[in-house]
Structure 1
Amino acid sequence: MNTSTANRQRSNDRTTYTGPGMIATGEATALLPTETTPPIKVFGTQAIRETFDDLCLQQAVNSRLAPGVTDLVLNPDAHCGYGAPVGCVMVSPTHIYPGPVGVDIKCSMSLLQLDLPAEAIEDRKVRRQLISAICQRTPTGAGKGQRNAEKSRHVNRSLGRQLVVEGASEDVCESLGIPTSWAFRCEDSFHLGHDDTTDALGTRLEKLLERRDMSNFSDKMKQLGSYGGGNHFGECEVVEVGQSDRAREVAHAFGLTDGNVAFLSHCGSRGFGHNLASGQFRHLQNKFDQWGIPLPAGDRQLVYAPLGSNEANDYLDDMALGANFATVNHLLINALVLEAFQEVIPGTKGHLVYFISHNIARKESVNNRPAWVHRKGATRAIPGGHHSLVGTPFAKTGHPILLPGNPRDGSAVMVADEGAEASCYSVNHGAGRVLGRRHAKRVLDQTTVDSEFECGDILSNCRQYPIDEAPAAYKDFDEVLRSVKSAGLASEVARLKARFVIKDASKADD
């Protein structure tokens, strides 16, 4: 999801795509041919496919032709990204690519279900009190941390070192006041090192802490329990479960309550993950320069490392460290949000529905062989009955898919269908941008944006909602969801209707 400053600047020089056009194969499916490989699978209606600009398509082809890549999928939310498009799935059994993970390692979504009926937050004064209570615990914006929120949790250096190695272990959760049961509601509650041990992560961390660019480790740990800038947010919702028998059955299994309040969060590994990713890009780019290896399509953002090499092992360890931070960050945010609700509305109870990533590489089985599935702005989508869900609460139904749309039009909870196998068991991570940030600031009207929120009775902590994050800067969410459903990838379980939004009102940092 997050796009680097360098890539945003580069995208202003619009690439003219001169390769083959997309070939429609169904209402919401198409193929994008390349010159030398099997075609790229594209999911999206014609209206959605028309939102894929030339740079997005060129990045997709570049990524598909990169060494070791066996599959490339474009989801409906696709747009230009860091080397590979945001909204793509890239599979390789032999290589690891930092670009299709990005600079915000394990940027993710989580959903907290509360036992409050919608009427409990109908009063705007109550919502204002909740916004204040949450902001006192969970700061927002680049560089913000515990010192900016008087009721946040203090994380010292020792606990920081433990949590980036262990992830959401029982000991870490108890130290931070996170319910230990929430770890079972995570796509991955912890990540191991390249050799499937925590020892590898401990050893790697010690080496990292000797580096000059990690001298701020303690400060980065103080960002735990905070939102970033740009498209990161916290959003209070009202759950509207679908009317079909399947939707009601799956919603019950997920722990969703129709008509009740929930809280949706979007955040990642913050400054710690950015440090790790940036260091890896610099290191691998220097290696390519030293070795004289040609870059895929000449793109420095598509550097890679062959699996089994020291470079690949170091990247996998760094990715795991960043991912463990992101996991605990989300769980702590949810614990703090629940605490804020309890302060304003005593007796409130809540439970985690799910926590799921959309910026990560995971080792999975693809076409009956192990491979690293890079999901860049893409969400895992495993249906019920799949072997990977055995032993989880979602073995029969499939796990929750959390898809943010925008505050005006709502967000969605979906569940994978059998057809998700065609997309490497993946769907989009949200609506996807249709206007770049600078373009949005030029063409959108702040008064119109604010009036939409007022008409919808949606409150915010911002004096003015960030115009580059306005609903109109994103693709038509209903059309995006129609693409997913028409392609047979997933079905809708519930809609989430925004009641207030926690957002960074300062300059976007992603």
Structure 2
Amino acid sequence: MSASEAIIATGEATGILPTGASRTPITVIGTQAIRETFDDLCIQQAINSRNAPGVTQVVLNPDAHCGYGAPIGCVMVSPSHIYPGPVGVDIKCSMSLLQLDIPAEEIEDRRVRRALIDAICERTPTGAGRGARHVAKGRVVDERLGVEALVSGASLSVCQQMGIPPEWAERCEDSAHLAHDHTADSLAMRLEELRFRNAFPNFCQKIHQLGSYGGGNHFGECEVVELRDREPDTLQAANAFGLRDGHVAFLSHCGSRGIGHQLAMGQFRELQCKFAEWGIPLPGGDRELVYAPLGSPEADAYIDDMSLGANFATVNHLMINALVLEAFQEVLPGCTGSLVYFISHNIARKEIVDHRPAWVHRKGATRAFPAGHHALADTPFAETGHPILLPGNPQAGSSVMVATQGAEKSCYSVNHGAGRRLGRKRAIRELDQKAVDQSFDAADILTNCRQYPRDEAPATYKDFEEVLRSVEKADLAREVARLRAKFVIKDGSAADD
């Protein structure tokens, strides 16, 4: 039986995957065409995750593919345990969208776009090891301010010192994360302990990565906003989000860089050693599905480390957006910009699930709270639901969606993008470099790359239209706007996540 045949359809874009144990099955989101993209390893990882101790629900999203312990593109819920694998090694990898007041026609000229690419690249470096000192106009953060950002996230003080508009913090899914005991003081103590143990070699160099993209699948992308229709619900959501039809926006994808990677790998090593010491069996025999019971010292340490990485990722995104706005203002004087939203797809958050608190782990999955959800009370999105930012690929476009009430069936979550169809090695082996580069030229999409990385070419990703159709047919979310790429900032080195 193939992986897709193991899934029992319950609707055009929904299904269940039995686990072989006396547990409720895995919820599957995806049309038949999408289910056929799930390979055996992805399915096995989902089953291992569902059968792991303390796990009460697992959702497999249409972008799902094999990941670190749990599939990328899944949601895992536990009221009693915390799992590093279903967060991953790039803690709080996220999306953000900056809306500019520039009409699309102002960037039609390729010379203008090339000047914008140059101005952005002078401020926001790409590459796995690169930081602010590697570019002419980067904003170098000193050690003291870097520590404050790790502990406080996008606080008023941090924003003011870094030149980030403080009001942007209000447009974040979470502008700051606290320690296991809900204090920042414990985060400061944990960071001091980690530094004393030399858990952060080259700490200052890692701090200098604030305001940078990294490599692999991370990017910055200049977009033109196209509202999907002029219906009242769409216009209401677009107004609440601050979207401007026919105007330029900038979409960013990146995470917690070297800081997050070191924190995550340290946690994996420590928990794997504990499992060996205790003689505890690994779920599905997978070393990447280690866990800790909530309330234990190990769980507290993981939550603290995840929060430190998440705060770094938040400030990193906001600084990137401030630098991008600065670059646009250099090339197009007088332009203004505002943050639409900043939202994660690699994080564990404490939420109410089935009327009780639980940790919702989203690995390559995006939170999707609809209008009226209690967590959106007193936010700008209480009456509409918050923006969902879904990258597709530069040639198919990306999407801004908003959740519907049906999102409850997926633990108020949707996919984080299109999801990979080809592995990196296979893509490099099979795709023709000249054809990839010509496809960008034909689509009038500029890039900063001499050669666009083949392992990130549009053909390496799933059919974005079918992915979005799955989300809409499953009644999880509806599209508010499509984002059409005009240029891409990217690097060809290995992915952070």
TM-score, normalised by the number of residues in structure 2? 0.98
Change (3 A) 1:74 1:80: same
Name structure 1 gaps, 5 residues minimum.
1-15
SS state of the match for residue 126, structure 1?
A: helix
Structure 1 segments, 4+ long, off by >2 Å, are 16-20, 505-510
The Cα of 1:426 is off from its aligned counterpart by: 0.1
Does residue 162 of structure 1 match 2:140? no
Does residue 426 of structure 1 match 2:413? yes
Question: What is the CA–CA distance in structure 2 between the aligned matches of 1:357 and 1:212, rounded to whole Å?
Answer: 28
SS state of the match for residue 213, structure 1?
A: coil
**Structure 1 residues 35-74: aligned runs within 5 Å:** 35-36=20-21, 37-74=23-60
The Cα of 1:212 is off from its aligned counterpart by: 2.6
Change (3 A) 1:20 1:508: closer
Question: What is the CA–CA distance in structure 2 between the aligned matches of 1:147 and 1:331, rounded to whole Å?
Answer: 18
**Structure 1 residues 467-482: aligned runs within 5 Å:** 467-482=454-469
**Structure 1 residues 226-265: aligned runs within 5 Å:** 226-243=212-229, 244-265=231-252
SS state of the match for residue 30, structure 1?
A: strand
Question: What is the CA–CA distance in structure 1 between the aligned matches of 2:172 and 2:467, rounded to whole Å?
Answer: 25
The one-letter code matched in structure 1 to 2:372 is G
Select between 445-454 and 88-97 the one with higher mean Cα deviation.
445-454
The one-letter code matched in structure 1 to 2:172 is C
**Structure 1 residues 126-141: aligned runs within 5 Å:** 126-141=112-127
Which string of whole-angstrom CA distances, capped at 9 and with x for unpartnered residues, describes residues 259-309 of structure 1? 000000000000000000000000000000111111111100000000000
Partner of 1:6: none
SS state of the match for residue 114, structure 1?
A: strand
Indicate conservation of the 8 Å contact 1:193/1:316, yes or no. yes
The Cα of 1:138 is off from its aligned counterpart by: 0.2
Question: What is the CA–CA distance in structure 2 between the aligned matches of 1:493 and 1:224, rounded to whole Å?
Answer: 31
The Cα of 1:213 is off from its aligned counterpart by: 3.0
The one-letter code matched in structure 2 to 1:414 is M
Partner of 1:302: 289
Indicate conservation of the 8 Å contact 2:3/2:36, yes or no. no
Does residue 32 of structure 1 match 2:17? yes
Indicate conservation of the 8 Å contact 2:3/2:43, yes or no. no
Q: How many residues align?
A: 495
Select between 17-26 and 86-95 the one with higher mean Cα deviation.
17-26
Partner residue of 1:358 out of 345, 370, 381: 345
Does residue 447 of structure 1 match 2:429? no
Question: What is the CA–CA distance in structure 2 between the aligned matches of 1:19 and 1:231, rounded to whole Å?
Answer: 26
Question: What is the CA–CA distance in structure 1 between the aligned matches of 2:166 and 2:35, rounded to whole Å?
Answer: 43
Question: What is the CA–CA distance in structure 2 between the aligned matches of 1:268 and 1:486, rounded to whole Å?
Answer: 30
Name structure 2 gaps, 5 residues minimum.
none
SS state of the match for residue 51, structure 1?
A: coil
Question: What is the CA–CA distance in structure 2 between the aligned matches of 1:60 and 1:445, rounded to whole Å?
Answer: 33
**Structure 1 residues 115-154: aligned runs within 5 Å:** 115-154=101-140
Identity within the alignment, %: 72
**Structure 1 residues 22-421: aligned runs within 5 Å:** 22-36=7-21, 37-243=23-229, 244-421=231-408
RMSD: 1.1
Question: What is the CA–CA distance in structure 1 between the aligned matches of 2:391 and 2:171, rounded to whole Å?
Answer: 19
Question: What is the CA–CA distance in structure 1 between the aligned matches of 2:374 and 2:62, rounded to whole Å?
Answer: 27
Question: What is the CA–CA distance in structure 1 between the aligned matches of 2:225 and 2:478, rounded to whole Å?
Answer: 16
Question: What is the CA–CA distance in structure 1 between the aligned matches of 2:321 and 2:82, rounded to whole Å?
Answer: 32
SS state of the match for residue 214, structure 1?
A: coil
Question: What is the CA–CA distance in structure 1 between the aligned matches of 2:273 and 2:135, rounded to whole Å?
Answer: 39
The Cα of 1:152 is off from its aligned counterpart by: 1.2
Question: What is the CA–CA distance in structure 2 between the aligned matches of 1:182 and 1:445, rounded to whole Å?
Answer: 41
TM-score, normalised by the number of residues in structure 1? 0.96
Question: What is the CA–CA distance in structure 2 between the aligned matches of 1:211 and 1:142, rounded to whole Å?
Answer: 24
**Structure 1 residues 477-488: aligned runs within 5 Å:** 477-488=464-475
Which string of whole-angstrom CA distances, capped at 9 and with x for unpartnered residues, describes residues 418-439 of structure 1? 0000000000000000100001
Partner of 2:492: 505
Question: What is the CA–CA distance in structure 1 between the aligned matches of 2:389 and 2:495, rounded to whole Å?
Answer: 23
Question: What is the CA–CA distance in structure 1 between the aligned matches of 2:153 and 2:87, rounded to whole Å?
Answer: 19
Indicate conservation of the 8 Å contact 2:131/2:210, yes or no. yes
Which string of whole-angstrom CA distances, capped at 9 and with x for unpartnered residues, describes residues 340-399 of structure 1? 000000001000000000000000000000000000000000001110000111000000
